[in-house]
């Protein structure tokens, strides 16, 4: 059975304690009841019962050592889906990168390891209550590495989906636009006040940049890239 201490926190942040270990649950409840700024609004060792009691308790933080439960494998995801504003602090956790990253992806606000002290748990609750997050220093690096990896994958995906546009100069774009209008090299040279030799050099560079076989294929490639609007 769970126990509701108060339907509305009298003072401090409202904490609901969920732990299947009865002795640990009782010790933590007694400890937290003595701490200023923290109000225990419910205690339970039954995940299903705890889920049903959250709304009644109006807790702000769920303090639990149950990331998952054999009977409720989607315990934390299910809780956060029903109560998206709830903050979850996990304690008694393994120093395991996979478990930690899973907890982060679920949206937990605190992850406290098994070798933590009672004061560490209290500090974690207070930090999360103030809008902060708690992350073991030993696991910070794996979080940064995962984020960097995801950014690299995202960047590659963007490059694949959006091929880069040909890097043409303003003069080369002018020249291609005139080619698109059907002008010859001689006419382009007169129009841009260039020598015909310079126009031919520009065309060779343009063909190479856009990997085209002739001037008409170059116009098509530049137009498809969005650089040329005509």
Are 52 and 120 within one domain?
A: yes
Are 119 and 179 within one domain?
A: no
Task: Identify whether 153 is part of a domain.
Answer: no
pLDDT of amino acid 57: 76
Task: Identify whether 164 is part of a domain.
Answer: no
pLDDT of amino acid 220: 86
pLDDT of amino acid 4: 52
Are 18 and 117 within one domain?
A: yes
Rounded CA separation 59/41 (Å) = 6
pLDDT in tens, the chain (230 residues): 455 554 444 568 999 999 988 999 999 999 998 888 898 988 988 877 777 777 677 789 999 998 776 656 677 887 888 888 899 999 999 999 999 998 998 889 999 999 999 899 999 999 999 999 999 998 999 888 888 888 877 765 555 455 555 678 888 888 988 998 889 999 999 998 889 999 999 899 988 888 888 888 888 888 887 777 65
Q: In this predicted model, what pLDDT tens digit does every residue of 138-164 receive, in sequence order?
A: 899 988 888 888 887 776 555 545 555
pLDDT of amino acid 89: 96
Q: CATH number of the domain that 128 lies in?
A: 3.40.50.2300
pLDDT of amino acid 9: 42
Are 78 and 127 within one domain?
A: yes
Q: CATH number of the domain that 177 lies in?
A: 1.10.10.10
- Token output for 132: 């902060």
Are 209 and 106 within one domain?
A: no
Are 114 and 185 within one domain?
A: no
Rounded CA separation 67/90 (Å) = 7
Are 90 and 178 within one domain?
A: no
Task: Identify whether 219 is part of a domain.
Answer: yes
pLDDT of amino acid 111: 96
pLDDT of amino acid 92: 92
Task: Identify whether 158 is part of a domain.
Answer: no
Task: Identify whether 156 is part of a domain.
Answer: no
Task: Identify whether 55 is part of a domain.
Answer: yes
Task: Identify whether 159 is part of a domain.
Answer: no
Are 115 and 174 within one domain?
A: no
Are 84 and 133 within one domain?
A: yes
Are 18 and 69 within one domain?
A: yes
The count of domains in the chain is: 2
Inter-residue contact 141 to 100 (CB < 8 Å): no
Q: Which domain holds residue 198?
A: 170-225
Are 85 and 185 within one domain?
A: no
pTM score, whole prediction: 0.63
Are 76 and 34 within one domain?
A: yes
Task: Identify whether 65 is part of a domain.
Answer: yes
């Amino acid at each position: 059975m769970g126990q509701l201490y108060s339907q509305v926190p009298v003072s401090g942040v409202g904490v609901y304690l969920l732990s299947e270990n009865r002795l640990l649950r009782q010790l933590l409840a007694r400890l937290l009841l003595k701490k200023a700024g923290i109000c225990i609004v419910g205690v339970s060792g039954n995940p299903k019962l705890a889920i049903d009691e959250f709304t009644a308790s109006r807790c702000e933080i769920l303090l639990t050592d149950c990331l998952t439960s054999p009977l409720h494998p989607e315990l934390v995801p299910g809780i956060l889906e029903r109560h998206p504003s709830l903050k979850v602090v996990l304690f008694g956790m393994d120093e395991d990168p996979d478990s930690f990253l899973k907890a982060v992806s679920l949206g937990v606000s605190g992850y406290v390891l098994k070798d933590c002290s009672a004061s560490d748990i209290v500090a974690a609750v207070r930090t999360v209550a103030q809008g902060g997050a708690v992350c073991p220093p030993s696991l910070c690096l794996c979080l940064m590495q995962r984020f960097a990896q995801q950014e690299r994958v995202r960047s590659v995906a963007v490059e694949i989906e959006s091929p880069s546009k040909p890097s043409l100069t303003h003069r080369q774009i002018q020249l291609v636009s005139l080619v698109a209008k059907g002008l010859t090299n001689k006419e382009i040279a007169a129009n841009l006040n260039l020598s015909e030799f310079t126009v031919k050099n520009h065309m060779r560079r343009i063909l190479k940049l856009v990997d085209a076989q002739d001037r008409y294929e170059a116009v098509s490639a530049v137009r498809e890239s969005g650089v040329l609007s005509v």
